[in-house]
Amino acid sequence: MTSMRGVLLPGDSTVEPVTREVPEPGHGQVLLAMRASSICGSDIRAIYREHLGRGPEAYQGVVAGHEPCGQVVAVGPGCRRLTEGDRVVVYHISGCGLCEQCRSGYLIGCTDPSRAAYGWQRDGGHADYLLADETTCLTMPDSLSFVDGALVSCGFGTAYEALLRLGVSGRDSLLVTGLGPVGLAAAMLARAMGVGPIVGTDVSEERLRLAGDLGLVDDAVLADDGAADRVVELSGGRGYTATLDASGNATARHLALSSTATWGRCAFVGEGGDVGFDVSPMMIHKQVTLHGSWVTSVSHMADLIGHLDRWDLHPERIVTDTFTLDDADKAYQLADRGTSGKVVITFP
């Protein structure tokens, strides 16, 4: 096969199908047959509706999709680890490999001009094939499905990193504001790490129901005017030792921070927007630590893949809707509504 299907996002809430040549792997690169390519909130927020991104989020008209998972079908010269048939998760940014951030594994933080995120500045996973740098590929155990792998490549990795930043353990209670895919991921992983009780909030009744039905939260609270009182009441009045905002909404961020217990930790993960709060009562006098957490490192992603295998945990559980590449427009319309679980494009 010499040509393949792909999908671009022109930025006016539409999806543009294109035909491309199947690329050939260069030095240190592999060609992946795509098996699963999920949609992330960032795709909706910064590309699909309109091209909002600047710098690392600037969309450069490439094949979309930054949550790719596939199988190696061709290996370029100079590859040292991967062979044909390997099933891999793609860490969704390739960095320069030499700067401080790259050397610590946080390719996301690379500021070299050569940095390129799949689906933003270099072709991503919404195509039959993806050209990937070997250094960005992580092999998966047989126990994980390709859909599991796609979900790890951004969303679950991002949720895991925030939980590491919060240092959660079985001694913690957790509040998650925003029960979209990243919030659901955080709840699922926190549960596996022994955290409890876990309470979640969202503005969407559908998302509250999904989180409850999946058993990922002990209580799901509608984010209305009474949410702050209800959330603290559910913690026995003490607040939560760990809180995590996955919504990016100012009211939800405020709720996460105000519901953090004295000496507790809070992480902001949801992107965009702003927040305002009274610093003394909400942070200083409560001895609160506030973290910003962006994606994860390659090594933490590899750790997570190993944990999922040992914990017998499947990210795929939060998938509510699956589409083929030919129906990518329907997949994006649904994801844009913000009421579903994870939406994935698969390649049957």
CA dihedral angle for residue 192, residue 39, residue 166, residue 300, rounded to 10 degrees = 80
- Locate 329 and state its tokens: 């427009």
Handedness of CA 91, 95, 101, 105 (dihedral sign): positive
The only residue of 116, 154, 186, 343 in contact with Zn ion, by rule CB under 5 A: 154
Q: Where does this chain touch Zn ion (CB under 5 A) — which range of 101-109, 134-142, 170-178, 340-348?
A: 101-109
Least distance to Zn ion from the beta carbon of 334, Å?
17
Nearer to Zn ion, 9 or 40 (CB): 40
Q: Where does this chain touch Zn ion (CB under 5 A) — which range of 112-120, 130-138, 192-200, 313-321?
A: 112-120
The only residue of 95, 124, 125, 270 in contact with Zn ion, by rule CB under 5 A: 95
Q: Which residues pair with 18 in a beta bridge?
A: 6
Residue 271 interacts with Zn ion (CB under 5 A)? no
Least distance to Zn ion from the beta carbon of 303, Å?
19
Least distance to Zn ion from the beta carbon of 323, Å?
18
Query: Is the distance from CB of 38 to CB of 100 less than 8 angstroms?
Result: no
Residue 315 interacts with Zn ion (CB under 5 A)? no
Cα 201 to chain centroid distance, Å, stands at 18
Residue 96 interacts with Zn ion (CB under 5 A)? yes
**Dist. CA 315–CA 41, nearest whole Å:** 16
The only residue of 40, 44, 188, 255 in contact with Zn ion, by rule CB under 5 A: 40
Residue 100 interacts with Zn ion (CB under 5 A)? no
Task: Determine the size of the site formed for Zn ion (CB under 5 A).
Answer: 9
- Locate 230 and state its tokens: 């209800």
Residue 56 interacts with Zn ion (CB under 5 A)? no
Query: Is the distance from CB of 255 to CB of 231 less than 8 angstroms?
Result: yes
SS3 60: coil
Exposure string over 185-196, b if 16+ CB within 10 A, otherwise e: bbbbbbbebebe
**Dist. CA 140–CA 88, nearest whole Å:** 6
The only residue of 22, 73, 99, 334 in contact with Zn ion, by rule CB under 5 A: 99
Closest CA to 142 of 325, 342, 329, 314: 314
Nearer to Zn ion, 185 or 261 (CB): 185
Residue 335 interacts with Zn ion (CB under 5 A)? no
Nearer to Zn ion, 158 or 258 (CB): 158
Least distance to Zn ion from the beta carbon of 295, Å?
7
**Dist. CA 32–CA 29, nearest whole Å:** 10
The only residue of 29, 37, 38, 42 in contact with Zn ion, by rule CB under 5 A: 42
Query: Is the distance from CB of 324 to CB of 348 less than 8 angstroms?
Result: yes
Nearer to Zn ion, 111 or 262 (CB): 111
Residue 24 interacts with Zn ion (CB under 5 A)? no
Residues in contact with Zn ion by CB under 5 A are 40, 42, 95-96, 99, 102, 110, 112, 154
